[in-house]
Structure 1
Amino acid sequence: MAFQFNNSGQQSAFEDNSKIPTVKQFQPQFLQKAIANQVRLNYQTIAVTQAINERGKKIPLAQLPVLTKGTTLVLDLGQYYVGHFRLQFTTAGSYPDAPALVNLRYCETQAELTCSAAYQGWLPEGWIQEETVKITDFPATFTAKDRTACRYLKLTVIATSEKYGLRLKKCDFRAQTAADFKLPEEKADKDLQLMRIDQLAQITLQNCMQGVFEDGPKRDRRLWLGDFRIQSLCASDLQTDFAIIKHCLYLFAGTQTSAGNIAADIFAYPRLVPDDLFMLDYNLLFVDTLANYYRATADRATLNELYPVAEKTIMFVADRAPSGEIPAWLVQTAFLDWLPDGIKIDRQAALQGVYLYALKQLRSLASTLEVDTVNITALIKQQEDLIKSKYYDASKRLFVSGPDKQASWWSQIWLTRADALGKDVSKQVLDTAIRTLKLDVFMTPYAYGELCLSLCEHGLKENALKLIRDYWGKMLADGAETSWEVFNPQKPNYSPYGVNSQLVLSHCHGWGSWPTYLLRHFLRD
């Protein structure tokens, strides 16, 4: 059984879809290549030398008082990292006559330190980074079994006996990443806000680069095709080694169904399992990810091997849309972005745009390989004719969708990225949209960054730069050190996951890496 995702904000739900083929058999020739390009993680040990007590005072570990029942400390790594904490405890007072219980909450942000644990939402509570540790024998060294993603550790002593207390003797953190780039340093002669936005994007990317490009190292810890497309684009400017991108491309290729569709995401460890979730737009954009990889590397051998995979993802849609119009049941499998609560977005025009964009990327790759493009060109013309006749309102200078002729941002973004009616019309549409459509509908950096990219591609760089400052700049002002999964400047506390869901939100999310690519390619001084 396959699933689609109805992303309707806090009313979101997984839905069965028997029309979507699932993986019956892996493609071993591609998985062998994936294994050959597995990456090694880089490790460093971060020593924690001081703690913050309940009054906010910083105290060296060696000077900490004895920790008794009810004592709370905060350990600060100084920066966001992914890895494992190690804590060494001794005791003071009488010989321990009972085990100690210590609660550990691993926090990505300062706000999580004081969040209530009374989470009410539809995401499983198992994503909350919190555990209670029982320590029986002393001296004791506790190493967190689960990998955590955090900057802070909130330590609360739940229980000792009245005869003894705990001493925190030593604390360190073994951080890990597959990234091989160094973070940029601040320079006095540069735009400080943009430099910090760039740092935020790079720290995000660095921590999401583990065995694969994870969407978020706290949650969901897996390889999502939508995030991977953005992350690989950004990493191509920063990495000297492209193995991790190649590894992920071959994982998707190796798990493609015989019908041609690709899973929305992959569980890469502890064993390889393609998710039974399908998202139409993610499937179509595999070709874009491959095209970006080829442009960065000129790796013709990989392109030659994976071109048929990309072609099959497109033909999966073409075979089900003989008239050119994608059937409604297939459109409804698309993600597009976290959509705002209470607003029904008609997705049809946006998905026609994604389809056309993917077709053009495929034709470009086919031309590179000197593969016949007659069929692809015919499909492109079919789309352009359909879009011109049905999805463009010349009087409004906007793309529209559905019976109510809705002009949503998602339609403008994807039909301009596809240049459905040519670059001049795309620029006019974007100029009109910036002046007339509200930006408060964007709930995440995912589509927001796509809009910034389209603006840059069509000569509206000043508009893009303003959007980057307004969005990621506001995120910084609100305390972000890494790019958050969900953020709306007008509704900073919004979450699609339910009430009091701060502890399950991902505050380091791969699709927020956009600025590091945009700043380098389009917006340098």
Structure 2
Amino acid sequence: MNKCFFMALSLALFSLNVSAQCYTESQQQTWLQKAEASKPVLNKTTHHPVREVKIVADANAFQGFKAVEDGDINDLYSKSFKKKKEVIVDFGKHLVGNVSFKIKDIGPMQDAVLRFKVTFGEIPSDLGLPVEPYTGSLSRGWMQDFQCDVSYDGCYTFNRRITARYMKIEAVGTSIYSDFCFDNITFEATTSAGKSKAQLASTTPQIFKDIARVSENTLKDCMQGVFEDGPKRDQRLWMGDLYLEALANTASFKEYNLTKRCLYLLAGLANPDNGLLYSNMVEYPKPHAQQTFFVDYALSYILTLNDYLKATGDTETARDLWPVVKNQINTILAKAIDNNHLYANTGYQYKGMMVSIVFFDWAPVTLDNHAAIQGLLAHSIDCAYNIAKVIGKTDDVKAYPATAKQLRKAGYKAYWDAKKQIVVSGKERQESYTATSWAVLGDLIKGNEAQKAIRNVMQSNTAIKPGTPYANHFLVAAMLHCGMNSEAKKYVEDYWGGMVRLGADTFWEYYVPDNHLFSSYNGYTLLNSYCHAWSCTPIYFIVNYPEIFQK
């Protein structure tokens, strides 16, 4: 996810004058210790290529390329590769882990270092599209293309974790005096997921069985030492992705200790002075945070803890982390809500450049997020109050129900266009799927008006559509929230099913049905992640709404 633009800016979201720390060093160290105690053991499985393929252009395939079987995989282990020079192998499924290969002599012994160029791809276009000239807005280092020098022992192990299904090997430096073939190519895949607990009814339509399978594959490959956003890129824990991963996990693998670990890690690395949570963290060499703040992500932490509490009944963890919940809500209410009870701080001026601190989506057009954050804040206050009720802390937040009511009343007045029966946001009265989704989920609008709002925005020629599965998740959730069950079913089938029909074995970071090459990384599609956590949630819908998706 291209949040690195924000990471480059060490921003303080709200400047606070604090006389004492919100969290003590001892408190945060205890949280980090509890996170470490919940660290999973990675499950490992060994995989080998199942076939040789070639990547061919196909206008009907996703991004214009497909893989077709080509050659005999057994030849790789018996015939001269010096003559063959190049091969693309298919492991048969998307994998995350460690890759190694070994060559063996054919005839005279190896008498020189051999040089290979190896490129990995999650999908066929990763190997079909040219890497150069590199025009991406993120580090060139994310690209999975390597120069490999193989010495006399014939062995090579890649020095970083690989995320791929396809592996292209090119011989670029061989000896005229010796020859070789491959002895083995091994992909040792890792995940902290166990066996899925999800059981679908026999009446479930095949397309939803397929969507559920790909959802679980996506989540599984993102479940490493933390819930990662993307195992190829960014390889870190983002709070927005965490919420959706936790939802999908409760419906499938039920690895609740991983959710617990992530909640404690984020709390242990929070800003101790103002209490705010940093938007993301990296696990190695030791857990550390990128010191940036996304308001909607800070609020999503509350949603995650609330879901975790409902799923596990773990009141001890909820009590531990209750100060973190309060600090997110109270700080935002104090610093970003105006006298009209509207969220009024969706942008931050930094060196003459407007930087969004409310994310929600990488839409094809810049979103106005006033209506969306208004709805999310009201919903988050409800979730915080629910946590308080379960752990006996309602005295801390007596004003929350009244505050949420004020936010909803103000949001309805400001963002509901009763004449057009549509949600609008900001001074330009922008129409978008995301603003509508959160106006519904936050109960700024309800009932028939909520249904009309969704139907009208989807019929609008000017409304901004989502750019990511992340935003599309909340659209489906909004449909279900207001009783648009058949529309929600069709949307999941069309959107996530669209990826399945295009050959996805894990769901993608971006999917814009009418623009398969969409990327927020300066248009450089090869930087896109094709196994991304925020796309994994159809399994949550399919399991939790069986009367809709399993019949």
Whether the 8 Å contact between 2:115 and 2:148 is mirrored in structure 1 is yes
**Residue 241 (structure 1) shift:** 3.4
Q: 1:190 to 1:377 in 2, by over 3 A?
A: closer
User: How far is 1:16 from its partner?
Assistant: 5.5
Q: CA RMSD in A?
A: 2.7
Deviation at 1:176, TM superposition (A): 0.7
In the alignment, the residues of structure 2 paired with residue 265 and residue 204 of structure 1 have an alpha-carbon distance, to the nearest angstrom, of 20
Provide the C-alpha distance between the structure 2 equivalents of 1:111 and 1:185, rounded to a whole number of angstroms: 34
Residue in 2 that maps onto 1:318: 333
1:77 — aligned with what? 91
Instruction: From the superposition, tell whether residues 461 and 437 of structure 1 become closer, same or farther in structure 2 (CA, over 3 Å).
Output: farther
1:306 to 314, 317, 321: 321
Q: Check the 8 A contact 1:61/1:169 in 2, yes or no.
A: no
| Residue 145 of structure 2: aligned partner | 130
- Tell me by how many angstroms 1:166 deviates: 2.4
2:359 aligns to what? 335
**Could you tell me which of 476, 491, 494 is aligned with 1:470?**
494
Listed one character per residue, the Cα deviations across residues 323-362 of structure 1 (whole Å, up to 9, x for unaligned) are: 233333557301111021xx34221111111111111111
Cα offset, 1:503, TM superposition: 2.8
> Which of 429, 435, 441 is matched with 2:453 structurally?
429
Greater displacement, 183-192 / 502-511 = 183-192
Find the aligned partners of 1:405 and 1:240 in 2 and give their Cα distance.
42
Change in Cα spacing, 1:69 to 1:311, as seen in structure 2 (3 Å) is farther
Count of matched residue positions in the alignment of Structure 1 and Structure 2:
514
Structure 2 equivalent of residue 168 of structure 1: 182
SS at match of 2:171: strand
Alignment of 1:168-247 (within 5 A): 168-182=182-196, 190-247=204-261
How far is the alpha carbon of 1:431 from its aligned partner? 3.5
Give deviations 1:157-183, integer Å, cap 9, x for gaps: 111022222210112211110001249
Aligned residue among 533, 536, 541 for 1:518: 541
Secondary structure of 2:179's aligned partner:
strand
Q: Are residues 237 and 400 of structure 1, via their aligned partners in 2, closer, same or farther at CA, if it must alter by over 3 Å?
A: same
Q: Secondary structure at the match of 1:82?
A: strand
Residues 241 and 439 (structure 1 numbering): CA distance in 2 closer, same or farther, change over 3 Å?
Answer: same
Report the more deviating stretch, 460-469 or 437-446: 437-446
**Residue aligning to 2:11:** 17
- 1:339 is matched by which residue type in structure 2? A
CA gap of 1:25–1:136, structure 2 versus 1, over 3 A, is farther
Q: Is 2:230–2:532's contact at 8 Å kept on the other side of the alignment?
A: yes
The answer to whether the aligner puts 1:502 opposite 2:496 as a matched pair is: no
Q: Please say if residues 183 and 203 of structure 1, whose CA atoms lie closer than 8 Å, have aligned partners that are also in contact.
A: no
Q: Any idea what SS the aligned residue of 1:121 has? A: coil
Q: Check whether the contact 1:49–1:171 (CA below 8 A) recurs between aligned residues.
A: no
Residue 492 (1) aligns with residue 516 (2): yes
Distance 1:211 1:408, change over 3 A: same
CA distance in structure 1 between the aligned counterparts of 2:12 and 2:266, rounded to whole angstroms: 21
**Cα offset, 1:48, TM superposition:** 3.3
C-alpha separation in 2, matches of 1:46 and 1:294: 37
Check whether the contact 2:7–2:291 (CA below 8 A) recurs between aligned residues. Answer: no
Cα distance in 1 for residues equivalent to 2:4 and 2:529: 20
Contact 2:10 2:291 in 1 (8 A): no
CA contact (8 A) 2:198 2:253 kept: no
Q: Does the 8 Å CA contact 1:75/1:152 hold for their aligned counterparts?
A: yes
Over 3 Å counting, the alpha-carbon distance change for 1:387 and 1:420 in structure 2 is same
Residue 476 of structure 1: how far off its partner (Å): 1.8
Aligned with residue 283 of structure 2, among 265, 268, 290: 268
Select between 84-93 and 224-233 the one with higher mean Cα deviation: 84-93
User: What amino acid is the match of 1:505?
Assistant: N
Query: After superposition, what is the alpha-carbon deviation per residue over 1:116-139, rounded to whole angstroms, capped at 9, x for unaligned?
Result: 12131111110011111111214x
**Contact 1:205–1:513 (Cα < 8 Å) also in 2:** yes
TM-score by length of 1: 0.91
Counterparts of 1:299 and 1:335 in 2: how far apart (Å)?
A: 30
Deviation at 1:207, TM superposition (A): 0.3
Preserved CA contact (<8 Å) 2:363 2:465 = yes
Decide whether aligned partners of structure 1 residues 507 and 155 sit closer, same or farther in structure 2, where only a CA change above 3 A counts: same
Instruction: Give the stretch that moved more between structures: 381-390 or 269-278.
Output: 381-390
Quote how far apart the aligned CAs of 1:482 are.
0.6
Amino acid across the alignment from 1:513? C
**Aligned equivalent of 1:345:** 367
The verdict on how the C-alpha distance between 1:330 and 1:365 changes in structure 2, with shifts beyond 3 A counting, is farther
Shift of 1:40: 0.9
Does the 8 Å contact 2:43/2:193 carry over to 1?
yes
Secondary structure of the residue aligned to 1:285 is: helix
Counterparts of 1:51-62 in structure 2, within 5 Å, are 51-52=52-53, 56-61=70-75
C-alpha separation between the residues in 2 aligned to 1:59 and 1:369?
59
Q: How does 1:253-264 map to 2 (within 5 A)?
A: 253-257=267-271, 258-264=273-279
TM-score (norm 2): 0.87
With over 3 angstroms needed to count, the CA separation of the structure-2 counterparts of 1:451 and 1:298, relative to structure 1, is same
Change (3 A) 1:496 1:478: same
Over 3 Å counting, the alpha-carbon distance change for 1:274 and 1:495 in structure 2 is same
C-alpha distance after superposition, 1:422-470 (max 9, x if no partner): 4453233223333446787221100111100111121111111111111
Equivalent residue for 1:396, pick from 407, 416, 420: 420
Partners in 2 of 1:25 and 1:149 — Cα distance?
39
> Runs of 5+ in structure 1 lacking a partner?
none
Residues of 1 paired with 2:513 and 2:278: CA distance? 32
CA distance in 2, matches of 1:83, 1:124: 21
Are the equivalent residues in 2 in contact too, given 1:442–1:448 (CA < 8 A)? Answer: yes
Write out per-residue CA displacement over residues 212-253 of structure 1, whole angstroms, 9 at most, x where no aligned residue: 000000000000000000001110121243110000010111
Offset at residue 278 of structure 1 (A): 1.4
> What's the CA shift for 1:59?
2.8
The equivalent of 2:387 in structure 1 is 365
1:6–1:95 CA distance, 2 compared to 1 (3 A): closer
| Residue type of the alignment partner of 1:215 | D
Cα distance change of structure 1 residues 494 and 201 upon mapping to structure 2, 3 Å threshold: same
Determine the C-alpha separation between the residues in 2 that align with 1:485 and 1:120.
19
Partner of 2:466: 442
Check the 8 A contact 2:94/2:122 in 1, yes or no. Answer: yes
- State percent identity of aligned pairs: 27
State the SS of the aligned residue for 2:310. helix
**In structure 1, what residue type is equivalent to 2:406?**
Q
Query: Is the contact between residue 12 and residue 292 of structure 2 (CA under 8 Å) also seen in structure 1?
Result: no
Instruction: State the secondary structure of the residue aligned to 2:105.
Output: strand
Q: Is the 8 A contact 2:338 2:344 kept in 1?
A: no
- The 3-state SS of whatever aligns with 1:498 is coil
Mean alpha-carbon deviation: is it higher for 386-395 or for 429-438?
Answer: 429-438
Deviation at 1:70, TM superposition (A): 7.0
Amino acid across the alignment from 2:421: R
Say whether residues 1:107 and 2:129 are aligned partners.
Answer: no
1:398 is displaced (CA, Å) by 1.9
Which amino acid is 1:328 matched to? N
